[in-house]
Structure 1
């Protein structure tokens, strides 16, 4: 008896994904494919590729939130299809944004009444917030110069060399000279006295950092305010301060309530803060608030009505999601002042545990300060055998993403590692990281010992062979070589982490 089979023409969408042709075909990289594929196959092949990404929870380079409660996750997904700019269609979402602005303004001690509406806006991050604040300073300065019939074509802004790259973007994009106060070894934040010395009649503002990206340290905004007030009185100028509180804005009010850095200081006219950092929201939300309405020139605010009602808007983009704004409001009412304080205290305690563990290796010097953003920055005491870049690379074998970098101008010879402590970084993870760092140090020490032995053996086998023995570089030479390499890399392509 003859058996015959008919080839199945069944729809590929019901086929077992790993038995289908889709897993053996190359994925499109440059052009949209001609044919459709089943949804489960599309999901599977993309999900498989994404497995090669790092684990966000172990990404200790980032300040950005990587965990939220499931209830908030559900709110985010429920609002993922809402375009925030459609304020007339989504009035409640707009109201939630306004509530967040008011809460943040009061948190930063803005001079407003209990029921008075604050001046501020939600952004996609602190980068956009800084651009908006900078534009407000520039326009206000230009208007004043025009009224005085003085030149207004050479604005400048004074910052420390430790500022995040978004300040450099603002200066370049909006044609403002960036005057940077250089750093020095052991002092990695802006010196207020040197900053005020650099202020002139064309300075639109001085930018102070509450939580340096490099070391987490808070700059002395109070001293800057006092020195700048004196200079303004002597010169007749009215140079203001902007506080970049991207990292520290949701830390200082809860851990250091007596610290004067915000609108309690008269020269502080605007403040930005990242909701997606210690505001405890996933990436995609920042905030900027102004002291009062006079500090935000009216001509920068646009009014549109084609979406159904008159809507004022002051943003660099237009359409954006509503989810992160809703998530920010959730965190404010869910945690309250008490909850935020508890989380920040936990972060600081876990940072202390990690710091103690790293000091216990007797291999590193701690560069970060005890007061500031909860992070630990540390450098090698001796880089003759291996560098912080070797440590960073080897830690990836254990899943940890720990950045290594050189300091900015005039401190480039200093290279450090940095671990950011977020709310989801527990004590047990801190202890595990210390254990893995010790394993890495042992491994690197063994590698160096083996490489040294091989070098000596080759030198003995070929005593007359030139170049057999490589002279050991000093620590300073090693750091300078690293600094030159990274400076070339950065000059070719300057990039920024999420802000």
Structure 2
């Protein structure tokens, strides 16, 4: 062996990282690499690429949690090797999941006599699809027993998040999504009843509409369906999409009736990693009673060491997020969640007031805790021409790292472009005041440099809803 052959003693060399031969060339991007490299060097290379992502704390487009206590990070590390589906190998993690299900059932006022059932999922979208499948199976069972066809199911919703469009497409269901109209941007009981018939598998109101952040009138819709059943004999169940509101209304609007206090509400989904304050990767679905979950949706698995019930769509998935959800329940309790979310609502109100003062904007929703989530949205004032569009405004804010989405509303209000801010735990009043000052500077910039060719929706930076 040559005395100074670097390749032969590569693993023993402690070069200054950026002077190493590992990082003297670009990393492979399209072909699988041939050689192994030093862990510290490759970590540095990957870490450097991650710097180019946006700052998640400044992402005011996302509903998802971007702040975590040190204890949560430690628990995630402790649970990195725990598989949520393997309840025989990790029985205590399974027990923690079951406790969370019971706690959520209690939070959502499940009847004391009910034998509640539910499970964790990878997120609220998976949970929504499980609730949707239960509606479809229950409808099919009733139709078969009555000797009627099951080939034309439909689902009635207000303006919904894309997961419901996926559900309808994947399971061949007609989605009767109530379009927005002038003066009405959410579901109403009248619009729901117009779309219901014997083929309706269910009605899905949203507690925190993606586009405008408002709560849809769950109780009023339930009462309308009660009257509809009295008149037609058609019993239509409800599933509440509580992706955001399921972790808000119980603490900040406890008198709002939207949950299992309404007998027609058979299931609820929510997102633990949104206002449940857990790390990304956990959702929940709860059924009012065990009888509301069709047997066809339950699988029994015995090849992991025990005969275990499995409900979720995904199989192997990490257990850390569920454990952290339990930590949050114990750590915060009702009082802690109320205090945390109330602070977010207060900040949303502050932002709404300050943005209304800027001049060209009209606030649509101001973060009222009785009618929506801690967020706010606005549009350009009618007849206003400040020399820029909301797309231009959003694009300019990105130069300071802020992600504040501008987007056109869905049918039939594609003509209306709005902008939205989500106020999550970690979006402080001080951070919000800095944002307001940056907004003022952006407006001043456009006053001096008006945009003659303004951005369109297709040209604007994309935002996830």
**TM-score, normalization by structure 2:** 0.94
- Structure 1 runs of 4+ off > 3 angstroms? 5-10
Q: Any residues of structure 2 matched to 1:9-408 within 5 Å, and which?
A: 10-11=9-10, 13-113=13-113, 118-160=116-158, 162-369=159-366, 370=368, 371-381=371-381, 382-383=384-385, 385-408=387-410
Cα distance change of structure 1 residues 326 and 383 upon mapping to structure 2, 3 Å threshold:
farther
* Aligned pairs for 1:407-486 within 5 A: 407-448=409-450, 482=456, 485=458
1:396-453 deviations in Å (ceiling 9; x for gaps): 11111111111110111111111100110111011111100000111122111xx67x
User: Is the contact between residue 360 and residue 386 of structure 2 (CA under 8 Å) also seen in structure 1?
Assistant: no
CA contact (8 A) 1:406 1:486 kept: no
Partner deviation per Cα, 1:366-425 (whole Å, 9 max, x = no partner): 011423100011112225621111011100111111111111101111111111001101
* Maintained 8 Å contact 1:102/1:117: no
How far apart are 1:186 and its partner, in Å? Answer: 3.6
Tell me which moved more, 251-260 or 104-113: 104-113
Question: Aligned equivalents of 2:76 and 2:184: distance in 1?
Answer: 41
How many Å apart are 1:6 and its aligned residue? Answer: 5.8
**SS in structure 2 at match of 1:249:** helix
Change beyond 3 A, Cα 1:383–1:311: farther
Alpha-carbon distance in 1 for matches of 2:64, 2:178: 27
Aligned residue pairs total 456
> Offset of 1:31 from its aligned partner?
1.9
Deviation at 1:22, TM superposition (A): 2.5
Contact kept in structure 2, 1:84 and 1:94, CA below 8 Å:
yes
CA distance in 2, matches of 1:423, 1:7: 54
Deviations 1:31-80 (A, max 9, x none): 21011110011100000010000011111100101111101210111001
TM-score (norm 1): 0.88
Q: CA deviation at 1:482?
A: 4.4
Greater gyration radius: 1
Q: Quote the Cα distance in structure 2 between the aligned partners of 1:329 and 1:142.
A: 36
C-alpha separation in 1, matches of 2:89 and 2:24: 46
Give distance in 1, aligned partners of 2:355 and 2:184: 21
In 2, Cα distance between equivalents of 1:486 and 1:187: 28
